[in-house]
Structures are given as C-alpha cells and as structure tokens.
Amino acid sequence: MMRKNALAGIALLGALALTAVGCSSSSGGDGGGDASGDELITVGFAQTGSESGWRSANTESMKEAFSTENGFDLVFNAADNDPAAQIAAVRDFINQGVDAIVIAPIVEDGWDDVLQEAADADIPVILEDRTVSASEDLYVSWVGLDFEREGTYAGEWAVEQFGDTDTKMVVLEGTTGSAPANDRAKGFDDAIAGSSIEKIDSQTGDFTRDGGKTVMEGFLQKYGVDGIDLLYAHNDDMALGAIEAIEAAGGVPGEDIKIISIDAVKDGMLALIDGKINFIVECNPLLGELAADLVTQALDGGTPEKEIYVDDETFTPEQAAEVIDQRAY
C-alpha cells in the first residue's frame, strides 16, 4: 500500500473548512507567477462530471481552493464521465499553456500518451480523488482516499452483522474501470471471504442515482424483495436510487434489505439516520486545499509527497445523528 500522510491532510482540510471564497473560471490565462505574486497561476482542472452529491462537493472544494483570492486562475472542465472527452480536455489545457493541471481521472487506463505530452511541455500534473495505471513518473503527486480500505471497512461491518448467517447480497458497482469501483470491490470481497455472505449479482450503476435505481429494479425483478438480504452500494447516490426501487417494489429499505454504502454525503447520512441505510463508510470530498498546496509546491520547485491519503470515518445511524449538523457536505 501507498505511504500515508493523513496528518497533513487533516490539517489542510481543517483550514479548508474555515475558508469560504469565490472562484474564477476562464478559458485561459497568462500563466507564470505564484500564489504570493502579482500574476495568477493558471490551473486546468479536469473533473469527471457531476454524477453525484459527492462529486458536487468535490468540485466546490476545488473551486474554492483554486480561487483568484488564493492566487489562481482556474480553467474548469467536467467531462460528463466520458474518458475520451476528459483526455481531450487535458490535451486542450496543454495547448493553452496552463501552468499546472489537476485531474480526477474517470478511469485508470489510457492516460500514458497525454500525461507524456504534459511532461514534455513541462506542465506538472496533480491527480486528485482517483488514480491512473500510467507510470508514476508522469505525474507529480496524488491526493485522495484509500478506496480499498473503504471497501474493507464496509465488508468488515457486513461480516460482523451477517457473517454467520446465509446472506444473499447484490452489489451496485461504480463506473467500470474506475479506481474506486475496482478498489472498493476488492476491499469488500477480501473482507467477506470465508463468511456466509454470498454475492448473487453485481452490476454497475455508474455512481448515479438513476443508475442505482434502474439496476436495483432489475435485481428486484430477478430475485424479488425476499430473495435479497443485503445491498452493497459503491456510493450513496446509487444507494439512494436503490431505496426508491425497493420502496416501489413494496419492500422496506434498511429492514427487508439491509444497505451498506460509501460516501457519507448529506442525503446519504439523512437516509442512514432514517434507518433506510444501515452503515456508511465516509469518502471525504474536500480535497481542494490539498491539491492547491501540491500545485504550489510543484511550481515552487519543491518535491511534494507522492501520495497523500485523507482519513475516512464510518457511521451507524446513531453516529450519523450526532454529527449531521456539523458536517460541511
């Protein structure tokens, strides 16, 4: 596993929670300079899209951190979860001559060529949230969450609750080929190995609420409410869509079908408090301040940490009720 730098993440995320600033979005900039000088640092940010509540919070965090007040000129692109469009956006950033590029990769593969183009243009690249399979030499640093550990936390809770009981489980997977989908599946599967939990079906819902609802409707038509004991959703939005499907089929989410989810966004936490979700593993979206710090270090000639992990928490309904009013997302 990668080396952890959680203390730095916690400190910077705390600073971000106290920051509320606007953002600048333009089609380019003059580049050069640094955050303490007169010229703005032009940063291209290639976001996945706006598929979930988590993604919206992540985008807002990035825009706040890369604001003009903080010395940046942000060039923002959301690729609507189209990997080819996202790579094209990064190539456009290179052609514009931005000072640095930040990417939340939709999928892990296919990045070698465009990252090499950025390296050839001496434009540092920071990865946030998700990872790539390309050589580590092609990007400066990555900041995000330990997706496999998130899956492990979810699986360990499932084993504690259902490990000794024959349990039929279905899975709502994230976007096929994405790091969180791959790693959350592996962590969970490893954790439940040898238990009495049986995965009877698994399909991608693309991290969207509509996708989760549609796939869950298919599961329910195939197995019925009585034929599914447990749902593991790779994010809250898919779990929320599945709740709609379960209720429409006459079932009681959280009772007839237990639900485990990952993200801990506001809507998911509220569903947890209401008993419609039974357990949530957090995936903190507030990565903007950390990403901005890494960009500044890279442009100042420093050597940032190669990988920075932000710690996650887990929540039962009771724990969610205690913290819901204090959370920033």
**Number of Cβ within a 10 Å radius of residue 311:** 15
State the Cα angle at 116 between 291 and 59, rounded to 5°: 25
pLDDT value for 328: 85
Instruction: Point out which residues pair with 199 in neighbouring strands.
Output: 169
Residue at 325 is within a domain: no
For the stretch 39-67, pLDDT in tens is 999 999 999 999 898 999 999 999 999 99
- Residue 10, pLDDT > 60, answer no
For the stretch 251-300, pLDDT in tens is 999 999 999 999 999 999 999 999 999 999 999 999 999 999 999 999 99
Query: Hey, what amino acid is at 272?
Result: L
- Residue 6, pLDDT > 90, answer no
Give the range of the structural domain holding residue 307, as residue numbers without chain letter. 6-145+284-315
d(CA 194, CA 47): 38
Q: Which of 240, 263, 282 is the last residue of a domain?
A: 282
- For residues 166 and 273, membership in a common domain is answered with yes
- Residue 212, pLDDT > 60, answer yes
User: Which CATH number fits the domain that encloses residue 25?
Assistant: 3.40.50.2300
Residue at 78 is within a domain: yes
Q: Are 191 and 183 in contact (CB under 8 A)?
A: no
- For residues 238 and 299, membership in a common domain is answered with no
- For residues 223 and 174, membership in a common domain is answered with yes
pLDDT value for 38: 64
pTM for this structure? 0.84
- For residues 226 and 296, membership in a common domain is answered with no
d(CA 93, CA 44): 6
Residue at 327 is within a domain: no
- For residues 160 and 100, membership in a common domain is answered with no
Residue at 329 is within a domain: no
- For residues 165 and 213, membership in a common domain is answered with yes
- Residue 3, pLDDT > 90, answer no
Residue 1's pLDDT band (boundaries 50, 70, 90)? very low
Cα dist from 36 to 26, 42, 274, 303, whole Å: 20, 14, 47, 19
- For residues 75 and 101, membership in a common domain is answered with yes
- For residues 160 and 133, membership in a common domain is answered with no
Residue at 270 is within a domain: yes
Mean pLDDT over all residues of the chain? 90
- For residues 256 and 136, membership in a common domain is answered with no
For the stretch 146-169, pLDDT in tens is 999 999 999 999 999 999 999 999
- For residues 246 and 125, membership in a common domain is answered with no
Residue at 306 is within a domain: yes
> Which among 181, 47, 43, 45 is positioned nearest to 105, based on CA atoms?
47
Domain count, the chain: 2
> Which long-range contacts link 82-91 to residues 24+ away (Cβ below 8 Å)?
82/49, 82/106, 83/107, 83/110, 86/46, 86/48, 87/111, 87/114, 89/44, 89/46, 90/44, 90/46, 90/114, 90/118, 91/117
Residue at 288 is within a domain: yes
Residue at 278 is within a domain: yes
